A and B are shown apart, each in its own frame.
Chain A
Amino acid sequence: MAYIYKKVKKKISVGKNPGEKYFAAMVSEGKASSKQVCELIDKDSTISAADAELLFRALGEVVSENIEMGRGVNLEGLGVFSPNLKTQGQSTADEVTVDDIKKVTVNFRPSSTLRKAMEQAPVKESSRFNLMHV
């Protein structure tokens, strides 16, 4: 278990101290497909992989419908999905209209359980990558 990172070199041209900088960047070990997640759920619960697949679709519908009503959705142990707006500003309150709402986004805030697990997870440098220049 670990967050895997690689070393990256990048030229930064803004800020108080511009120049070439080094920083750690996330490395994905792979992508677990929906089917693989269903198989994990099958092993960890009374639910079959096929039922998990149906439940995922139903869950997606429930989240989407509630986002459309301006409601958040709290999944205990996982986190909260909530609607947010991408907007542009006006000089006066009276000038603000619906046209200033550019997009509805879905925010995800992890639960305290998930946050704790992430905080406690170790970090490890990737053995697959040398220093990357970006």
Chain B
Amino acid sequence: MIQYTVEKRINPMDKLNPKFYPKIVRAATLQTDEIANLLQSRTTLDKSEVYSFLKAFANAVQFLITHSYTVEVEGLGIFTPAIKAKAVDDLGDLTAKTILKKGVNFRPTAKMTTRHKSIGFEKANLDVEHI
């Protein structure tokens, strides 16, 4: 069950007609130690082995992404390297310097996406937020 509240947003192009949207109320984030406990309880491995796995997993993703590889993780999703670049008028001006940012995109598995279609929602008893 996901809790939501209502948020008021003002469009700078149409300030006289604000709109109201549902906004997620985030619960506390699960930290690495809690994740290790959960993974340990679901496997036959001990906690130090789970930590070793998590560290190696992070290293593997970092290595592959920075070598321009897409990374598929069964059960979780796909990590894809991405760049943000500015457009130029002349081909001669198109160099590596036009790349403004390097990053990574993530797409969950189809199974996870389908599973999330049946999530229930509950309105939290909070005041409308203004942004």
A: residues with CB less than 8 A from B are 1-5, 7, 9-10, 12, 17, 19-34, 37, 40-41, 44-47, 51-64, 66-78, 80-85, 87-93, 95-96, 98, 100-101, 103-104, 106-108, 110-111, 113-115, 117-119, 121, 123-125, 131
Asked if B60 and A41 make an inter-chain contact with CB atoms under 8 angstroms apart, the answer reads: yes
B55 & A77 in contact (Cβ 8 Å cutoff): yes
State in angstroms the CA–CA spacing of A30 and B80 once bound together: 10
Interface residues of B in 76-118 (CB under 8 A from A): 76-77, 79-83, 85-91, 93-94, 96, 98-99, 102-106, 108-109, 112, 115-117
Since A2-B67, A106-B108 are in contact, a sample of 13 more A-B pairs with Cβ atoms closer than 8 Å, ordered by chain A residue number, is A5-B96, A21-B88, A22-B93, A29-B67, A45-B53, A64-B108, A70-B24, A73-B35, A78-B54, A92-B20, A100-B21, A108-B106, A117-B66
Q: Output the nearest chain A residue to B89 by Cβ-Cβ distance.
A: A21
Chain A residue nearest to B52 (CB atoms) is A45
Q: Which residues does chain A contribute within 8 Å of B6, judged by CB atoms?
A: 93, 96
Q: A37-B73, A55-B39 are in contact. Are A119 and B102 (CB under 8 A)?
A: yes
- B interface majority secondary structure: mixed
- Beyond A34-B74, A41-B57, is A83–B104 a contact (Cβ under 8 Å)? no
Decide: B54 and A77 in contact? CB cutoff 8 A. yes
- Knowing A1-B66, A3-B66, A24-B85, the reply to whether A75 touches B54 (Cβ < 8 A) is yes
Could you say which residues of chain A place their CB within 8 Å of the CB of B43?
Answer: 51, 54-55, 58
Complex: A7 Cα to B91 Cα, angstroms: 8
Q: Is B59 in contact with chain A by the CB < 8 A criterion?
A: yes
Q: A24-B96, A68-B2, A73-B29 are in contact. Are A32 and B69 (CB under 8 A)?
A: yes
Task: List residues of chain B with CB within 8 A of the CB of A87.
Answer: 21-23
Measured between alpha carbons, how far is A54 from B116 in the docked complex, in Å? 22
Report the separation of the CA atoms of residues A57 and B50 in the bound assembly, to the nearest whole angstrom: 13
Q: Which of A61, A70, A85, A104 touches B27 (beta carbons < 8 Å)?
A: A70
| Known contacts A45-B56, A69-B2; is-contact A1 B32 (Cβ 8 Å) | no
Nearest CB of A to B3, in Å? 6
* Residue from A9, A40, A83 within 8 A of B63 (CB atoms): A40
Residues of B contacting A101 in the complex (Cβ-Cβ under 8 angstroms): 4, 22, 121
Contact B116 A64 (CB under 8 A): yes
Contact B29 A71 (CB under 8 A): yes
Question: Given the interface contacts A60-B109, A75-B32, A121-B102, does A91 sit within 8 Å of B94 by beta carbon?
Answer: no
